[in-house]
Amino acid sequence: MTTAGYGQFYSSGLGFRAGLQWTSSVATVEHAFGLPLSVVWRSPSRTPSERVYSGAAGAMRGYGYSSLDGAVGSLLAGFLMNLFSDIEFYGGVTPGWIAGTPAPGSKTNVRTPFTLTLDAGMCINYSIWRFDIKLMPAFHFDPIGSLTRSTGTGGAETPMRWFFSFAGGLAFRF
């Protein structure tokens, strides 16, 4: 997925995002385009020293485990999860267009090229100067059932309504 977007945030942490996205393949169907629009809440950004202190505190909270495997896993997870600069939660809609066709031999069919998804997800940011490293899991619901999957019994088709995406990337803040 490739996205070019704009975000505006206010002092309360609330904001919005809008953009243009291209997805190379969705459920074996090539080339989908979308206009994601979302309302976002972003936690306050933390300085590098605050992140290191929080990471050390998170690691120490996991120190009390009785087994070595549990302690190491908890120490590592606590340290890494507390190093992030900020976290965003968002919800919105993405109207779009499916421009491609299903791959040969695929059981996926395009019922209508117009698509609309309701989206909810989060974005974990790690900032270095004006660059962000991002991890973005999200759930998407398609109420109109743009894509269907053949079940193989009498030509019946079932709408594919739920999608999960996990993306990562590098962003530059202007």
Query: What is the pTM for the complete model shown?
Result: 0.76
Q: Where are the beta strands (DSSP E) in 49-142?
A: 86-98, 108-110, 114-128, 131-141
CB of 146 within 8 A of CB of 98? yes
- Residues 130-165: pLDDT tens digits? 888 889 999 999 999 888 888 776 677 888 899 999
Rounded Cα gap, residues 31 and 102, in angstroms? 10
- pLDDT for residue 120 is more than 70: yes
- Quick: pLDDT tens for 59-108: 666 555 545 555 555 666 666 666 677 889 999 999 999 998 888 888 88
